[in-house]
């Protein structure tokens, strides 16, 4: 057990590894001890556990409301910092300097060091800036190739655990997602370098790419479906000018089988967000294709990936980093793929304007939009042309209403 009272000070900012790498033994101890601890803030990203639901005293910061972090935002316990994922390391050096970082480490390797495991992203920057490093060393956490490593003499306090990692089940497929996947696959050339998000639609796009050849992967995230593509023979990474022969990723969100595959595959390379999301790196990747989803898009091409009505439900994340990287790539392309309506079928996700006024991706950055009804190529088009193209891929029941908002 870690005695957090010995290591924490008033107003400390504690960085917690996000998603599947949450160090559950440490975070559960924090919640259990919260009334005996100084007032602290925790910086969290995506959350998949319910650990912090039991907290009544801790306060949180995040770059979004992803996974169960959405519940913290909804009850006012978590404030959102609007930022690109690529900006977080610089924020850690300036306005958001971490005092403490929690780590979820692998067992010791032959060189005496421990890997940060299946989530690297901004941890390297957090470790570099923190006063105090606290770790749980877990026999279940794989030592991942290329990831940030630490020796235990660089850690201020640690404990050993043997506990399963958090898992994320693959999303259930839908007929809408299947059709979107088919449209997207037709736009992606052999030899493309892929960045793909998480969810039903991205998974179906990946499923449709198994017949492609000589693909490469440079993505913030590895999922079960992306690993299936990697193992299918469609991915060779031979056309990459940066890290040729390797699928470059920053984090892994998936199942136990995926974690084993990642740790045993020397063609996988973990890199921090300063590489996975870096504009200068992405620009060097010819035929870089960014594939992401959204909550809604308006008729000018503005994308909202954060707000559902007036509720914060998503994040900026790496979407704009990758879209701009694709624009700078020779023969690059960015795709926003989304179902034409919400789950109820009662609300169009192509809208005259964005009700919240929050724009994640600017209309000047938008390229290609796909729904189950087709493809809208928006780059280089006028506002009127964009509106008509988007109406053509909206659900038929909403097209006439949308058309009333188009001039000329």
285 touches 193 (CB < 8 A): yes
Distances (CA, A) of 315 to 68, 88, 148, 309, 340: 13, 13, 25, 14, 20
Query: What share of the chain has pLDDT > 90, as a percent?
Result: 96
Query: Mind listing the domains of the chain with CATH numbers?
Result: 4-161 (3.40.1080.10), 175-403 (3.40.1080.20)
So what's the pLDDT on residue 172? 86
So what's the pLDDT on residue 408? 57
Assigned token pair, 146: 């290329």
What is the model's pTM?
0.96
Q: What is the rounded CA–CA span in Å between residue 305 and residue 339? A: 13
Pairwise pLDDT comparison (348 vs 263), residue with the higher score: 348
- Mean pLDDT value of segment 188-209: 96
- Where does 2-99 have alpha helices with state H? 24-33, 69-74, 88-93
So what's the pLDDT on residue 117? 97
pLDDT, tens digit (0-9, with 9 covering 90-100), for 259-299? 999 987 899 999 999 999 999 999 999 999 999 999 999 99
Distance of CA 239 to the CA centre of its chain: 24
Assigned token pair, 82: 């609007």
So what's the pLDDT on residue 282? 98
Beta bridge partners of 196: 291
Q: Is 39 helix (H, G, I), strand (E, B) or coil?
A: coil
Indicate whether 341 pLDDT > 90.
yes
So what's the pLDDT on residue 204? 96
pLDDT, tens digit (0-9, with 9 covering 90-100), for 83-119? 999 999 999 999 999 999 999 999 999 899 999 999 9
- Mean pLDDT value of segment 165-174: 92
- Mean pLDDT value of segment 350-358: 96
Instruction: For residue 171, name the pLDDT band (cuts at 50, 70, 90).
Output: confident
Average pLDDT, the chain: 97
Instruction: For residue 170, name the pLDDT band (cuts at 50, 70, 90).
Output: confident
């Amino acid at each position: 057990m870690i005695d957090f009272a010995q290591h924490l000070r008033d107003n400390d900012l504690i960085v917690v590894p996000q998603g599947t790498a949450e160090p559950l033994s440490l975070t559960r101890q924090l919640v259990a001890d919260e009334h005996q601890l100084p007032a602290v803030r925790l910086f969290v990203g995506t959350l998949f556990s319910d650990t912090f639901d039991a907290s009544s005293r801790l306060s949180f910061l995040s770059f979004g409301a992803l996974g169960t972090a959405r519940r913290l935002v909804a009850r006012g316990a978590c404030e959102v910092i609007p930022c690109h994922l690529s900006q977080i390391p610089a924020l850690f050096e300036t306005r958001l300097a971490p005092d403490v970082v929690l780590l979820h480490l692998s067992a010791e390797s032959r060189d005496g060091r421990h890997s940060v495991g299946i989530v690297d992203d901004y941890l390297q920057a957090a470790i570099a800036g923190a006063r105090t490093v606290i770790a749980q060393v877990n026999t279940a956490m794989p030592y991942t190739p290329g990831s940030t490593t630490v020796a235990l003499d660089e850690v201020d306090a640690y404990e050993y655990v043997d506990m399963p990692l958090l898992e994320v089940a693959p999303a259930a497929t839908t007929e809408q997602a299947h059709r979107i996947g088919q449209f997207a696959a037709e736009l992606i050339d052999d030899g493309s370098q892929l960045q793909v998000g998480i969810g039903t639609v991205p998974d179906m796009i990946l499923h449709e790419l198994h017949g492609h050849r000589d693909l490469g992967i440079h993505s913030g995230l590895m999922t079960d479906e992306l690993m299936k593509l990697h193992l299918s023979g469609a991915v060779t990474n031979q056309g990459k000018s940066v890290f040729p022969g390797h699928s470059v990723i920053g984090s892994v969100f998936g199942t136990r089988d995926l974690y084993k595959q990642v740790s045993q595959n020397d063609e996988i390379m973990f890199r921090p967000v300063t590489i996975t999301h870096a504009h200068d790196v992405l620009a060097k990747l010819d035929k870089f294709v960014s594939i992401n989803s959204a909550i809604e898009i308006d008729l000018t091409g503005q994308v909202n990936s954060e707000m559902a009505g007036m509720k914060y439900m998503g994040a900026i994340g790496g979407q704009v980093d990758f879209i701009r990287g694709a624009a700078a790539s020779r023969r690059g392309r960015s795709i926003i793929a989304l179902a034409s309506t919400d789950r109820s079928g009662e609300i169009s996700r192509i809208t005259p304007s964005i009700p919240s006024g929050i724009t994640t991706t600017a209309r000047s950055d938008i390229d290609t939009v796909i729904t189950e009804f087709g493809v809208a190529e928006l780059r280089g088009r006028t506002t009127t042309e964009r509106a008509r193209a988007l109406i053509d891929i909206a659900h038929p029941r909403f097209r006439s209403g949308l058309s009333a908002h188009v001039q000329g």
